[in-house]
Amino acid sequence: MTDLWPGETRAGFALTFDVDAESAILAVDPRYARRLTTMSHQAYGPKVGVPRILRMLERHGLRSTFFVPGLTADRYPATVEAIVAAGHEIGHHGYSHVQLHRLDEGEERRELERGMSSLERITGTLPTGFRAPWWELNDRTPDLLTEYGLRYDSSMMDDDRPYLLATAHGPLAELPVHWMLDDWEQYAFLPEPNVGTVIESPAKVLDLWTSELDALADEGGMFIVTAHPFLSGRPSRVATLERLVEHASARGDLWMASLAEVAERAHQTIAAGEQRAVPVCTIAEDVYGKR
Ligand code: ZN
């Protein structure tokens, strides 16, 4: 069996960007639409953050993955077109950024379908990757993703290497993430709604992320940063991402790729017998009662 990591590489590295823009706040309460300053904080992502991030990625020839809610795509089609024109991957990030566990099956299907059609209309192709809003999959989602033709998800946290899930409609690659490698916990600050109260030093973030990168890479893992352009698109933070890319490149042993490339490699190299069951947490009635 061919190893997951191609050639001389021994671990994986990906920068990923969730282009939430206003959707993450409107999903909390649509009345925030009338709060101009709050909305402008979110709009900074597609307006200023994404172009700056694209310039940085181009300097290093790095292909990345941008997960875009359908609502963001509909509001900022030129931003999505610029991401595609620069050679990056567009992934599915729901339509309205609502947490999927709040929806019944029909509503969840509608979120998936609306997100797919918005991205297809603007990019001309269907996405192959999915990241759940707030990283909140429910026990129904993996089967729905493969039913809609998606090849991978990047929302779960129970490993640090890619793996395959067995779903009702075939295997789904899972590319795991973690809060430690999410910029939200480092940089998110808004008085209202309270989605975060921290503005950390980029130097501290660089130390946190390079420490995990080196330890994870030494063990053959997949390092995935999740960044939000409305947060990480600010100048000192893009500079920090650039230092991280330089650090990763200097190691010389990392496969630096988009998540779609990593997911396809996982599909090709992980044996069918290694597929895992969807990790539904079954709970015993004699412990918790009938629910
Ligand atoms: Zn998001």
Distance CA 66, CA 32 (A): 25
Q: Structure pTM? A: 0.97
What tokens appear for 243 in the block? 């230092």
Tell me, what's the pLDDT at 234? 98
Write the pLDDT tens digit of every residue in 79-110: 999 999 999 999 999 999 999 999 999 999 99
Q: How far is the CA of 273 from the centre of ligand 1 (A)?
A: 33
Write the pLDDT tens digit of every residue in 196-214: 999 999 999 999 999 999 9
Q: How far is the CA of 160 from the centre of ligand 1 (A)?
A: 21
Q: Picking from 41-45, 263-267, 280-284, which range would have the lowest pLDDT averaged per residue?
A: 280-284
Contact call for residues 59 and 35 (beta carbons, < 8 A): no
Mean pLDDT, residues 71-84: 98
Q: Is 147 a residue whose pLDDT tops 70?
A: yes
The one-letter amino acid at 136: E
Tell me, what's the pLDDT at 284? 80
Q: How far is the CA of 99 from the centre of ligand 1 (A)?
A: 10
Q: Is 1 a residue whose pLDDT tops 70?
A: no
Q: Is 48 a residue whose pLDDT tops 60?
A: yes
Q: How far is the CA of 283 from the centre of ligand 1 (A)?
A: 29
Tell me, what's the pLDDT at 204? 98
Tell me, what's the pLDDT at 36? 98
Q: How far is the CA of 90 from the centre of ligand 1 (A)?
A: 13
Q: How far is the CA of 155 from the centre of ligand 1 (A)?
A: 11
Mean pLDDT, residues 222-240: 98
Tell me, what's the pLDDT at 291? 65
Q: How far is the CA of 24 from the centre of ligand 1 (A)?
A: 6
Domains and CATH numbers, the chain: 11-288 (3.20.20.370)
Write the pLDDT tens digit of every residue in 108-125: 999 999 999 999 999 999
Task: Work out the pLDDT band at 168, boundaries 50, 70, 90.
Answer: very high
Q: Is 16 a residue whose pLDDT tops 80?
A: yes
Q: How far is the CA of 6 from the centre of ligand 1 (A)?
A: 30
Task: Work out the pLDDT band at 195, boundaries 50, 70, 90.
Answer: very high
